[in-house]
Amino acid sequence: MPSVSRLAVAPVKGLALTHPDEVQVTPFGVPQDRRFYLVEESGKLVSGTKDSPLFTVRPATDEAGSRLSLAFADGRTLDGEVELGDPATTMFFGRAVPGRVVLGPWGDALSELVGRPIRLLRADDTAGGFDSFPVSLLSEASLEELARRSGEERVDGRRFRMLVQVAGTAPHEEDGWLGRRVQIGEALVEVTEQDPRCRMTTRNPDTGVRDWDSLKAIKGYRGVTNGDGIMFGVYARVIRPGRVRVGDPVEPV
112 and 153 part of one domain: no
In a domain, 24, yes or no: no
* pLDDT over 70 (residue 229): yes
Same domain for 229 and 153, yes or no, is yes
Residue 50 maps to a domain: yes
194/229 same-domain check: yes
Backbone φ and ψ of 251, nearest 5°: -135, 115
Q: Give mean pLDDT, residues 50-54.
A: 76
pLDDT at 49: 66
Binning pLDDT at 50, 70 and 90, where does residue 92 land? confident
Whether the CB-CB separation of 182 and 188 falls below 8 Å is answered with yes
Each residue's pLDDT tens digit, 95-119: 889 999 999 999 999 999 999 999 9
Least confident of 47-51, 172-176, 244-248: 47-51
In DSSP notation, 81-147 reads E-EEEEEEEEEETTEEEEEEEEESHHHHHHHHHHTS-EEEEEESSTTTT-SSSSEEEEEHHHHHHHH
pLDDT band at 25 (very low <50, low <70, confident <90, very high): very high
Q: Do residues 83 and 47 share a domain?
A: yes
Domain end call among 98, 123, 148: 123
Phi, psi angles (nearest 5°) of residue 45: -60, 135
- 158 and 243 together in one domain: yes
What span, in angstroms and rounded, lies between the C-alpha atoms of 225 and 204?
A: 25
**What is the distance between the alpha carbons of residues 182 and 194, in angstroms, rounded to a whole number?**
15
> What element of type H or E holds 215?
helix 214-222
User: Does residue 214 belong to any structural domain of this protein?
Assistant: yes
pLDDT tens, position by position, 2-14: 999 999 999 999 9
3-state secondary structure of 172: coil
Same domain? For 74 and 146 the reply is no
Q: What CATH number does the domain containing 179 carry?
A: 2.40.33.20
Q: Is residue 23 part of a domain?
A: no
Residue that finishes a domain, picked among 58, 92, 123: 123
**Positive or negative: CA dihedral 7, 29, 168, 195:** negative
Decide if pLDDT at 94 tops 90: no
- 180-198 per-position pLDDT tens digit: 999 999 999 999 999 999 9
Shared domain for 116 and 166, answered yes or no, is no
Are residues 58 and 162 both part of a single domain? no
The reply to whether 141 and 110 lie within a common domain is: no
Q: Are residues 223 and 138 in the same domain?
A: yes
Q: Report how far residue 84's alpha carbon sits from residue 164's, in angstroms, rounded to the nearest whole number.
A: 31
pLDDT for 128-169, tens place per residue?
677 778 999 999 999 999 999 999 999 999 999 999 999 999
pLDDT over 70 (residue 234)? yes
* Domain interval for residue 153: 3-10+133-252
Say yes or no: 166 and 192 in one domain.
yes
Total number of domains constituting the chain? 2
Whether the full predicted model's pTM is greater than 0.85, yes or no, is yes
pLDDT of residue 223: 94
pLDDT more than 90, % of the chain: 83
On whether both 141 and 79 belong to a single domain, the answer is: no
Q: Give the mean pLDDT of the chain.
A: 93
237 within domain boundaries: yes
Domain assignment present for 211: yes
Instruction: Say if 25 falls within a structural domain.
Output: no
Given 123, 144, 179, which residue is the final one in a domain?
A: 123
Q: Let me know: does 127 contact 26? Beta carbons within 8 Å.
A: yes
Which pLDDT band, with edges at 50, 70 and 90, does 50 fall under?
A: low
With a cut of 80, say whether residue 218 has pLDDT above it.
Answer: yes
| 218 domain-assigned | yes
pLDDT at position 202:
94
- pLDDT exceeds cutoff 80 at 171: yes
